[in-house]
Chains A and B, each alone.
Chain A
Amino acid sequence: MGEIRPAAVEVINWGWRHAGRRDWALRNLELRIRPGERVLLLGPSGAGKSTLLAGLAGLLDTAGGGEAEGDLRIDRIDARRARERVGIVFQDPETQLVMARAGDDVAFGLENRSVPVESIWPRVDRALADVGFRYGRDRPTAALSGGEQQRLALAGVIVLRPGLLLLDEPTANLDPDGARLVRAAIARLAAGAGATMLLVEHRIEETLDLVDRAIVLAPGGGVVADGTPADVFAAHGDRLAAAGVWVPGHPIPAPKRASHAASEVLIEARQAGFCYPGADRFALAGADLDLRAGEALAVVGPNGSGKSTLALLVGGLLRPSVGSVTPGAGIAPGRDGVSLWTWEARRLAGAIGSVFQDPEHQFLTGRVRDELELGPRRLGLGKVEAARRSTELLERLHLGHLGEANPYTLSGGEKRRLSVASVLATAPAALILDEPTFGQDRRTWVELLTLLAGLRDDGRGVVVATHDLPFAAALADRTVIVDDARVTAA
Chain B
Amino acid sequence: MRLLVPLVPDPGAILARANPVAKLGAAAALMLAPLLAVDLVTATLLLAGELAAVRFSGLRAAALARRAWPLVLVAVGIGLANGLFPAQSGGSPLVAIGPLRPSGESLWVGVGLGLRLMAISFAGVLALATTDPTDLADALGQQLGLSPRFAIGTLAAVRLAPLVAVEWQTLGLARRARGVDAGRNPVAAVRLFGGRLLAMLVGAIRRGTRLATAMEARGFGATPSRSWARPQRMRGADWGLIAGAVLLAAGASGLSLALGSWRFVFG
Interface residues in chain A, defined as those with a beta carbon under 8 Å from any beta carbon in chain B:
57, 59, 83-84, 86-88, 90, 92, 94-101, 104, 107-117, 120-121, 124, 142, 153, 156-157, 160, 312, 315, 317-318, 344-346, 348-350, 353-354, 356, 358, 360-364, 374-375, 378-379, 422-423, 426
Q: Which B residue's beta carbon lies closest to that of A84?
A: B219
Q: Which B residue's beta carbon lies closest to that of A371?
A: B178
Interface residues in chain B, defined as those with a beta carbon under 8 Å from any beta carbon in chain A:
132-134, 152, 155-156, 159-160, 162-163, 167, 170-171, 173-181, 183, 195, 199, 203, 207, 210-211, 213-223, 225-231
Beta-carbon contact of A94 and B155 below 8 Å? no
Beta-carbon contact of B179 and A99 below 8 Å? no
Within the complex, the shortest CB–CB distance from B164 to chain A, in Å, comes to 11
Given known A-B contacts A110-B227, A120-B229, A346 and B179 have beta carbons under 8 A apart: yes
Beta-carbon contact of B215 and A98 below 8 Å? yes
Beta-carbon contact of B177 and A315 below 8 Å? yes
Q: Which residues of A contact B215 (CB under 8 A)?
A: 98, 108
Q: Which residues of A contact B159 (CB under 8 A)?
A: 97-100, 142
Q: Which of A142, A156, A348, A356 contacts B179 (CB 8 A)?
A: A348
Q: Which residues of A contact B176 (CB under 8 A)?
A: 317, 345, 348
Other A-B contacts than A157-B217, A317-B176, A360-B203, 5 sampled, CB-CB below 8 A, are A104-B229, A121-B229, A315-B177, A345-B181, A348-B176
Given known A-B contacts A312-B173, A356-B170, A356-B177, A115 and B227 have beta carbons under 8 A apart: yes
Beta-carbon contact of B155 and A379 below 8 Å? no
Beta-carbon contact of B227 and A120 below 8 Å? yes
Per the bound structure, the CA–CA distance linking A354 and B155 in Å amounts to 36
Given known A-B contacts A57-B217, A83-B217, A344 and B181 have beta carbons under 8 A apart: yes
Q: Which of A98, A156, A312, A345 contacts B175 (CB 8 A)?
A: A345
Beta-carbon contact of A109 and B174 below 8 Å? no
A-B CB contact pairs (8 Å), 7 listed: A59-B216, A90-B214, A109-B218, A115-B227, A350-B179, A353-B177, A423-B177
Given known A-B contacts A98-B156, A100-B134, A109-B219, A345 and B229 have beta carbons under 8 A apart: no
Q: Which residues of B contact A90 (CB under 8 A)?
A: 210, 213-214
Q: Which residues of A contact B231 (CB under 8 A)?
A: 117
Q: Which residues of B contact A157 (CB under 8 A)?
A: 217-218
Beta-carbon contact of B213 and A318 below 8 Å? no
Q: Which residues of A contact B211 (CB under 8 A)?
A: 95-96, 98
Within the complex, the shortest CB–CB distance from B226 to chain A, in Å, comes to 5
Q: Which residues of A contact B228 (CB under 8 A)?
A: 111, 117
Beta-carbon contact of A317 and B173 below 8 Å? yes
Beta-carbon contact of A422 and B178 below 8 Å? yes
Q: Which residues of B contact A142 (CB under 8 A)?
A: 159, 162
Q: Which A residue's beta carbon lies closest to that of B218?
A: A109
Beta-carbon contact of A349 and B179 below 8 Å? yes
Beta-carbon contact of A83 and B219 below 8 Å? yes
Given known A-B contacts A83-B222, A375-B178, A318 and B173 have beta carbons under 8 A apart: yes
Q: Which of A98, A120, A364 contacts B180 (CB 8 A)?
A: A364
Q: Which B residue's beta carbon lies closest to that of A378?
A: B179
Q: Which residues of B contact A96 (CB under 8 A)?
A: 210-211, 214
Within the complex, the shortest CB–CB distance from A72 to chain B, in Å, comes to 15
Closest 3 CB pairs of A and B: A349-B179, A112-B219, A345-B181
Within the complex, the shortest CB–CB distance from A157 to chain B, in Å, comes to 7
Per the bound structure, the CA–CA distance linking A360 and B178 in Å amounts to 12
Q: Which residues of B contact A121 (CB under 8 A)?
A: 229
Within the complex, the shortest CB–CB distance from B150 to chain A, in Å, comes to 14
Q: Which B residue's beta carbon lies closest to that of A318?
A: B173
